[in-house]
Homo-oligomer: A and B are copies of this chain.
Amino acid sequence: METPVSVLGFGSAAGKKEDEGPLSGLFDYISDDNTFGEKTWEKSESRMQQIALSKALANAELDPKKIDLIFSGDLLNQCIGSVFGLREFNIPFIGLYGACSTMAEGIALSCIAIDGGFAEKCAAITSSHFCSAERQFRLPLEYGGQRPQSAQWTATASGAVILGNSEKAPVITHVTIGTIVDMGINDANNMGAAMAPAAADTIKRFFTDTSLTAQDIDLVLTGDLGEQGSSILCELLYREGIDIRQKHNDCGLIIFDRESQDVHSGGSGCGCSAAVLCAHILPRLCDGNLKKVLFVATGALMSPTSQQQGETIPGIAHAVLFQSR
């Protein structure tokens, strides 16, 4: 960014299981039955986005009319979580599909629009819901299918960030847009392995482009690689001469306790990285406990249809560098 773009506000919403994990008490809104008061899981997900954006607007002390552009998307077919959650705000809307990379994608595009002079204030939002994702991508919940240890648990969560210009708040100084990377993984129960090469590619390009090193960063925070994907990422980068092992964490490993919460390889979903960012990381950038965080949301660009037709799972990752004041 020519002029660093500021974080004016942020908000989050999550389900019961998420509030029972390590971030208990940090989310702005919890639905104890995961329905968020709605009759279908898809409508619950929409309501979650609406709540997260409302909380972010309140945190930023802004009226929806002050927001020039919303960037949003989610995992549901045709992104209905975003559309039906956000239509009432009456804000110009840019629909995204970046799978679980959406939060970084939306923040990066918001920064481009603001620093380019096309918008004063933007919002980036995304969500995922365990129940809507399971029935759309995998099996009906009632089936009670078993999950291998490499599988991840889709977080029921949403996060929203308001971006603009301010002299106080944490800022975004750099963004790196990811390239689709497909290393031939085709196991939909091992998304971390499918996404790790894309994360490695983006992080490497980020360090090359900025001349920064892992030593300059407090935290390299990937979106939802989980346990298996995280170890692959660190190994891939280590082989390239980039050692992030002491600096890396993953939102999928932060949001749940793998020992006690039976989530196997960790959390996943667009909402996982969005809610960890908004409930846990941005507050620590605000109070100065973190100085420089490279947020790298990771997406698996597949569908049940592409899987059934024998396709591999391409990954993508977008990176955003947050800095405290």
User: Interface of A with B (CB < 8 Å)?
Assistant: 2, 40, 42-43, 69, 73, 75-80, 83-84, 86-87, 90-99, 105, 109, 112-113, 115-118, 136, 177-180, 182, 299, 301-306, 309, 311, 314, 316
Residues of chain B within 8 A (CB-CB) of A91 are: 179
- Complex partner residue of A177 from B84, B93, B178, B299, CB under 8 angstroms: B93
- Structural contact, A97 and B96, CB atoms closer than 8 A: yes
B residues less than 8 Å from A43 (CB atoms)? 309
Given contacts A78-B77, A109-B109, A116-B118, contact A93 B178 (CB under 8 A): yes
Task: Tell me the minimal C-beta distance from A13 to chain B in angstroms.
Answer: 20
A sample of 5 more A-B contacts (CB under 8 A), given A80-B311, A83-B306, is A40-B309, A76-B305, A78-B99, A86-B180, A97-B97
Contacts of A95 in B (CB 8 A): 73, 96-99, 105, 299, 301, 316
A75 / chain B contacts, CB cutoff of 8 Å: 78
Q: In chain B, what residue has the closest Cβ to A68?
A: B177
6 A-B residue pairings within 8 Å (CB atoms): A73-B95, A77-B77, A77-B78, A79-B97, A80-B302, A92-B178
- Given A84-B311, A117-B116, residue A93 in contact with residue B306 (CB < 8 A): no
CB–CB A180/B87 < 8 A:
yes
Q: Tell whether A112 pairs with B118 under 8 Å between CB atoms, given A180-B86, A301-B83.
A: yes
CB distance from A148 to the nearest CB of B (A): 22
Given A93-B179, A178-B92, A314-B84, CB of A305 within 8 Å of CB of B117: no
Given the known inter-chain contacts A95-B98, A95-B105, please indicate yes or no for A80 contacting B306, CB distance below 8 A: yes
